[in-house]
């Protein structure tokens, strides 16, 4: 969809590194780095309607390891 296309085409064209995951709650520690500035969440996801535990993700990025990261949520 549009979100995936934005991050693979538009963001990539502006030299923005993007990592995707289907299971953010279990893979967040593996994909977030010191360079991470945004964690984009689509919940419920399209097309599977998977619901992300946004509180869990927000708690993790509030941790010292990701203090410079912000969470964004798309649920249209």
Select from 54, 69, 46 the least CA-distant residue to 24. Answer: 54
Structure-block tokens of residue 46: 């399209």
Distance in angstroms (rounded) separating the CA atoms of residues 21 and 4: 11
Identify the pLDDT of residue 10.
93
Taking alpha carbons only, the member of 50, 4, 2 closest to residue 26 is 50
pLDDT in tens, 42-59: 888 878 888 888 888 888
For residue 23, the model assigns a pLDDT of 82
* 11-28: pLDDT as tens digits: 989 999 998 888 887 888
Structure tokens at 52: 């992300």
Residues 5-15 as b/e (b if ≥16 CB within 10 A, e otherwise) read: eeeeeeeeeee
């Amino acid at each position: 969809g549009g979100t995936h296309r934005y991050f693979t085409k538009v963001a990539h064209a502006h030299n923005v590194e993007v990592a995707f995951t289907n299971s953010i709650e279990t893979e967040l520690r593996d994909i977030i780095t010191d360079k991470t500035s945004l964690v984009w969440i689509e919940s419920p996801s399209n097309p599977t309607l998977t619901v992300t535990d946004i509180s869990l993700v927000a708690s993790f990025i509030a941790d010292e390891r990701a203090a410079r990261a912000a969470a964004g949520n798309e649920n249209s």
